[in-house]
Amino acid sequence: KDLDAPFSTQCQDPVVAAAATPRENATLVMLARNNELQKALQAVQNIEHQFNQWFHYPILFLNDEEWDAEFKRVLSSAVSGEATFEVIERKDWGFPSWMDVDAARIQMKAQEAKNIYNGGKESYHHMCRFFSGTFYEAEALKKYKWYWRVEPGVEYTCAITYDPFVEMARRGKTYGYVVSLWEVDETVPSLFRTVDGFRRAKGIGATPNWRAMIQPSWAPWPIRRVLGWFGANHRDYNGDIWNLCHYWSNFEIADLDFFRSDVYRDLFGYLDHSGGFYSERWGDASVHALAVHLLLGPEQLHHFADIGYSHEPFWQCPGNAPGGQLLNSTVLGDASGVSPESEHAIGCRCRCPDERRRNNRGICL
Ligand code: GDP
Ligand code: MN
């Protein structure tokens, strides 16, 4: 039995789909800076066009600084649901209070000297720490159960003609993603062993889902499909047996109650106290991926194989679209793709990047 079939294998009438069920208690969330106005607008117009013009979910805009009036004016008028602009509280952004900031800055300088991706950029470390462990503390998110993360500049390349929140809830899903890929190993030398230290300290067993992060061939099929197996014997920077595969968190649809749970908060506190958000450059994508594999069952994860999505330089394109590739056993590892008429066709009204860029982009293989 397929633990994780696509939610929809055809195009629905979105007006009918939107009328069929009430909305879930959910919001889209975009963290952005004032100087990203154009890219934020492009992403919002795109998601309105491909989805929200029918479903009218609210969009919550978060910033660590005061919003410019211009940003608020332009983005408000682009959202068909409610648009809210909030400033992140000081306690939720920046160095933890107990940290030796001078020492952390020296560590970040050292990362810069080693050319570690964004290693020397203090604000980037803050952003990764925010998405790893404090975003769900935002007052404006408290009233919601579900969120969908959107970033300035992303593009949805297919119409989404059903309500993904409703389907997540209906099917008992907690965490949904589109792209999985390998982490940049020098950004996370001790992340895996720290999460594993937490696991052992808490007496949490090595579930199949957890072992899947180490050895994908142990994973249930739908997870193995996206975690891949060619990298099964790959080890991380410190030689620990995580093959570095993770879900790309610039897209996420997830249940906030998972992140707000005691065990997730404890995990974040444990990671935070180890200092790795600054002494290394841990990304929230790997933190989330390791956490969901540690704490959730495979049936609670969902790969949105039917969502066309692009965040440069990686993208996913459903198999029935021109240039698309279906992510199933028949095409995994080869570039043949499937035609729009395929019985496996998924997704809807897609316009995907060109053929030349088709091969397995953004999938851990
Ligand atoms: P990348 O996708 O990992 O290259 O990182 P991005 O530069 O796209 O940043 C990820 C998200 O965090 C985007 O939504 C950015 O707009 C946002 N972001 C990154 N740094 C900051 C920051 O210092 N302040 C604010 N307000 N947003 C930030
Ligand atoms: Mn980005």
Q: How close is the Cα of 303 to the center of ligand 1, in Å?
A: 24
| 347: its two tokens | 């997704």
Atom index in ligand 1 nearest the CA of residue 124 equals 20
Q: Which alpha helices (H) appear in 249-365, and where do they start and end?
A: 256-259, 262-274, 276-279, 284-295
Q: How many residues does the chain have?
A: 365
What pLDDT was estimated at residue 6? Answer: 85
Using the CB atoms, write b or e for 214-232: b if 16+ within 10 Å: bbbebbbebbbbbbbbeeb
Does ligand 1 have an atom closer than 6 angstroms to the CB of 33?
yes
Q: How close is the Cα of 46 to the center of ligand 1, in Å?
A: 19
What pLDDT was estimated at residue 38? Answer: 98
Q: Which of 151, 247, 286, 311 to mutate to test the pocket of ligand 1 (most atoms within 8 A of CB)?
A: 151
Q: What angle do CA 217, 220, 226 make, to 5 degrees?
A: 70
Ordered per-residue pLDDT tens for the chain, 365 residues: 577 888 887 778 888 999 999 999 999 999 999 999 999 999 999 999 999 999 999 999 999 999 999 999 999 999 999 999 999 999 999 999 999 999 999 999 999 999 999 999 999 999 999 999 999 999 999 999 999 999 999 999 888 989 999 999 999 999 999 888 888 989 999 999 999 999 999 999 888 788 877 666 666 666 665 665 545 567 777 777 788 888 999 999 999 999 999 999 999 999 999 999 999 999 999 999 999 999 998 899 998 988 888 898 888 877 666 555 544 333 222 223 333 444 445 667 777 765 444 434 455 54
| pTM score | 0.90
What pLDDT was estimated at residue 319? Answer: 66
Q: How many CB atoms lie within 10 A of CB 83?
A: 18
Q: Which residue has the least CA distance to atom 5 on ligand 1?
A: 124
Q: How close is the Cα of 150 to the center of ligand 2, in Å?
A: 9
Does ligand 1 have an atom closer than 6 angstroms to the CB of 236?
no
Say yes or no: ipTM exceeds 0.85: yes
Q: What is the pLDDT of residues 279-314, one digit of tens each?
A: 999 999 999 999 999 999 889 999 898 888 889 888
The strand pair at 301-303 and 175-177 is best described as parallel
DSSP string, 158-177: B---S-HHHHHHHTT--EEE
What pLDDT was estimated at residue 147? Answer: 98
Q: What residues have CB less than 8 Å from 259, skipping those under 6 apart?
A: 135, 136
Q: What residues have CB less than 8 Å from 347, skipping those under 6 apart?
A: 158, 305, 306, 307, 308, 317, 318, 319, 320, 321, 324
Residue 354 to residue 361: CA distance in whole angstroms: 12
- Cα 281 to chain center, whole Å? 17
- Per DSSP, the three-state class of 349 is coil
Q: What is the pLDDT of residues 122-145, one digit of tens each?
A: 999 999 999 999 999 999 999 999
Using the CB atoms, write b or e for 278-313: b if 16+ within 10 Å: bbbbbbbbbbbbbbbbbbbebbbbbbbbbbbbbbee
What pLDDT was estimated at residue 313? Answer: 81
Query: What is the crossing angle of helices 122-133 and 101-113, to 10°?
Result: 110
Task: From 315, 25, 269, 21, select the one nearest 158 (Cα to Cα).
Answer: 315
Does ligand 1 have an atom closer than 6 angstroms to the CB of 219?
no
Neighbours of ion ligand 2 (CB under 5 A): 151, 250
- Right CATH for 14-303 from 3.40.50.300, 3.40.470.10, 3.90.550.10, 3.20.190.10: 3.90.550.10
| 55: its two tokens | 């479903």
What pLDDT was estimated at residue 76? Answer: 98
Atom index in ligand 1 nearest the CA of residue 32 equals 16
Task: From 84, 85, 30, 21, select the one nearest 54 (Cα to Cα).
Answer: 21
Does ligand 1 have an atom closer than 6 angstroms to the CB of 123?
yes
What pLDDT was estimated at residue 346? Answer: 63
What pLDDT was estimated at residue 8? Answer: 82
Q: How close is the Cα of 143 to the center of ligand 1, in Å?
A: 24
Annotation marks residue 252 as catalytic: yes
Q: Which residue has the least CA distance to atom 27 on ligand 1?
A: 32
What pLDDT was estimated at residue 354? Answer: 56
What pLDDT was estimated at residue 9? Answer: 75
